[in-house]
Amino acid sequence: MELGSLKVGSYIIIDSEPCRIVSYDHSKPGKHGSAKARISAIGVFDGSKHSMVSPVSANIEVPLIDKRSGQIISMSGQTLQIMDLETFEVFETQAADDEMKDKIRQGGEVEYWKVLERIKVVRVKS
């Protein structure tokens, strides 16, 4: 996708990490070059801040986010075993944060995102 067509809230890949754009600023084309875009983004999995400066016409990678629902089969420490509600596939992943860990219970439903072959539990369905 072209960098100039992105907005705040879009998802991009910076340093092979999927990120959500939190600020987007671009400068005008000048005497010595094309317009530049400055992007600040927060990593989906690591939560760290990533930034990039590039020409507006540059092509960048945009991740495909697969949003799915699953049911928690078992919990042991930080590891969750989840069964997809459409394909009935069972897989293991890490619990997200402590606030969400308190809401997670065995047999409960969760929404998870599959991005670049990695899985993150986003929210607990009630």
Least Cα distance to 17 among 39, 38, 46 occurs for 46
What gap in Å lies between CA 15 and CA 88, rounded to an integer?
33
Q: Are residues 17 and 51 in the same domain?
A: yes
- Per-residue pLDDT tens over the stretch 80-104: 899 999 999 999 988 776 677 778 8
Q: Does residue 114 lie within any of the structural domains?
A: yes
The alpha carbon of 121 is separated from its chain's Cα centroid by a whole number of angstroms, namely 11
| DSSP label of 103 | H
- Give me the CATH number covering residue 9: 2.30.30.30
- Domain range enclosing 84: 66-125
Out of 9-13, 71-75, 104-108, the most confident range is 9-13
Q: How many structural domains compose the chain?
A: 2
Q: Are residues 79 and 104 in the same domain?
A: yes
| pTM (predicted TM-score) | 0.82
